[in-house]
């Protein structure tokens, strides 16, 4: 199932016929209710049903042959906590059952792609939204439709006030728009100190990455070394590295011959990644301090 994507914008779009939704800070997740069971699919296509048994159980209430698109989040202390979502996503099947009790997941659904066997992707967003609300409101948590407004002033208020609840921005869609599977047909407005960057390599070893080598979306595209990764990010990068081919720019057998200039460290060897990953980073307009990696991107 190819999901719709969003292109970044710097200002809030304002026009007739637009819908605005909060952009939740979680993991993109497609729920597929088959005739017999439930399958949970990450944006990458990986099946993650075993990591979220609580959502899988709740989705059994959906009609057979129904497909939802949305975001899985974990609420803690009044806000969504991305680190806790990562913890849930990385859990073994045995551990996931325990975490489902202590860290229950919620599903913020923002689209219905199929309903009781009827493919809705060609229908306008406005119609799909109405069907989504009718479907989920009687069920209640943990399956819930995301809030939506067509009022740009209310959307601007959301943008300014909801970050305290873990909301990272807004997603903007046309009311008359079909579901843009596999394309950046939506728009996203994030808070300005956070950007997506290309991860072209990493320092350290495949089992213990220390930092990422990034190309930022601003500047001269010179690769930069990030600040040291957290333990959770090291584990996530190591898992990603293990699942893909790491190539070198020199010879097939020498995987750490590429170098990059790191602030205060001089030339540092790194292992290239091909194809690159995408990471969400916090950075200033200068190269001091190094970019801080917030997470690997797997959602919108």
User: Which of the residues are catalytic?
Assistant: 23
Q: Which residues contact 282 (CB under 8 A, 6 or more apart)?
A: 193, 194, 195, 291, 292, 294
Q: Which residues contact residue 77 at a Cβ distance below 8 angstroms, ignoring those fewer than 6 apart?
A: none
Question: Any idea what DSSP says for residue 116?
Answer: T
Q: How far apart are CA 130 and CA 127, in angstroms?
A: 5
**Cα 111 from chain centre:** 15
Cα 68 from Cα 21, distance rounded (Å): 16
Q: How far is CA 289 from the centre of its chain?
A: 25
Q: In sequence order, which residues have a C-beta less than 8 Å from that of residue 95 and are 6 or more positions away?
A: none
């Amino acid at each position: 199932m190819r999901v719709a994507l969003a292109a970044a914008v710097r200002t809030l779009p304002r026009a007739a016929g637009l819908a605005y939704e909060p952009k939740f800070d979680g993991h993109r997740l497609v729920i597929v209710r088959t005739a017999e069971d439930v399958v949970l699919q990450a944006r990458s296509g990986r099946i993650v049903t075993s990591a979220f048994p609580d959502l899988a159980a709740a989705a059994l209430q959906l009609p057979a042959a129904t497909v939802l698109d949305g975001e899985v989040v974990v609420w803690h202390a009044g806000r969504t906590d991305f680190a806790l979502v990562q913890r849930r996503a990385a859990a073994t099947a045995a551990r996931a059952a325990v975490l489902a009790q202590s860290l229950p997941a919620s599903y913020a659904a923002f689209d219905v792609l199929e309903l009781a066997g009827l493919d809705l992707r060609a229908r306008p967003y406005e119609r799909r939204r109405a069907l989504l609300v009718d479907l989920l409101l009687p069920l209640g948590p943990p399956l819930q439709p995301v809030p939506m407004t067509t009022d740009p002033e209310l959307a601007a208020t959301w943008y300014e006030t909801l970050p305290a609840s873990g909301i990272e921005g807004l997603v903007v869609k046309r009311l008359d728009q079909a579901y843009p599977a596999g394309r950046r047909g939506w728009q996203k407005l994030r808070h300005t100190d956070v950007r997506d960057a290309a991860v072209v390599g990493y320092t350290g070893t495949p089992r213990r990455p220390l930092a990422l080598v990034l190309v930022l979306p601003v500047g001269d595209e010179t690769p930069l070394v990030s600040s040291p990764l957290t333990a959770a990010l090291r584990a996530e990068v190591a898992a990603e590295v293990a699942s893909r081919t790491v190539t070198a720019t020199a010879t097939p057998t020498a995987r750490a011959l590429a170098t990059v200039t790191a602030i205060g460290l001089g030339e540092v060897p790194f292992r290239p990644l091909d194809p690159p990953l995408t990471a969400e980073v916090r950075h200033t307009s200068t190269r001091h301090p190094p970019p801080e990696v917030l997470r690997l991107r797997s959602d919108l």
